[in-house]
Amino acid sequence: EPEVTQTPSHQVTQMGQEVILRCVPISNHLYFYWYRQILGQKVEFLVSFYNNEISEKSEIFDDQFSVERPDGSNFTLKIRSTKLEDSAMYFCATQNTGELFFGEGSRLTVL
Amino acid sequence: TQLLEQSPQFLSIQEGENLTVYCNSSSVFSSLQWYRQEPGEGPVLLVTVVTGGEVKKLKRLTFQFGDARKDSSLHITAAQPGDTGLYLCAGQETSGSRLTFGEGTQLTVNP
């Protein structure tokens, strides 16, 4: 069964450091999303990406965040200068026209 | 941003009992999805309901979308220990592609 794969599964970083989370979408999918889930809280939308540009972003997705699809396959989320409150599970999700498929998530711990 | 209130937050029942989980909002959604999330994994789609008043069945699970497309319910008949998990509702906003998640219901079915 096709799946969305995310790396790393867990990253520990110091506050102020840059972090890049990577996602390999299902091959024929066109729509890409990042969601995050802070421990004990609900899953929150960050950004959606289609046709090589951001189609929608939330209030959380400020200037510290960026997304790109540099090589036509990987879909990345970059946090430029991490803060303690960025500690969360980050989920990539991809979609063709129907079901949204989530990856297993990348756990980010900011110390 | 639209909000979804999910209840109950925790539910512990005996095998064979029935249960209902509710998802309510004051906003209209274009569709509503139910997910199940296992620890350390991303949400997995169970069902999508689109039409007001729609009812979908998935074995012992029955999903209903309210007539006004503001609320939904998940009913499980004769719960089994294998039903134990975190159930999430998520509404797709009428303007855009983002999903708004409820806080989840942690279901435990005791043998």
Question: Does the CB of B95 have a partner CB in chain A at under 8 Å?
Answer: no
pLDDT tens for each residue of A59-74:
999 999 999 998 878 9
| Choice among A16-20, B3-7, B73-77 with the minimum mean pLDDT | B3-7
pLDDT tens for each residue of B65-100:
999 999 999 999 999 999 999 999 999 988 778 899
Q: What is the mean pLDDT of chain A?
A: 94
CA angle A21, A26, A31 (to 5 degrees): 75
Which residues of chain B have a CB within 8 Å of the CB of A58? 1, 98
Task: Kindly provide the b/e burial profile for residues A95-110, where b requires at least 16 CB atoms within 10 angstroms of the residue's own CB.
Answer: beeeebbbbbbbbbeb
Which residues of chain B have a CB within 8 Å of the CB of A48? 96-98
Report residue A99's pLDDT band, with 50, 70 and 90 as the boundaries. Answer: confident
- Which helix (H) or strand (E) segment holds residue A36: the answer is strand A31-37
**B-interface mutation test, from A31, A43, A54, A102, most B Cβ less than 10 A away:** A43
Type of residue numbered B78: A
Which residues of chain A have a CB within 8 Å of the CB of B45? 99-101
Predicted confidence at residue B1, as pLDDT, reads 65
pLDDT tens for each residue of A38-67:
998 999 999 999 988 999 999 999 999 999
* Sheet containing A19-24: order of strands: A5-7, A19-24, A75-79, A65-68
B2 pLDDT more than 80:
no
Predicted confidence at residue A1, as pLDDT, reads 75
Residue B35's alpha-carbon distances to A24, A83, A106, B66, in angstroms, are 21, 30, 19, 18
User: What is the percentage of chain B residues whose pLDDT exceeds 90?
Assistant: 86
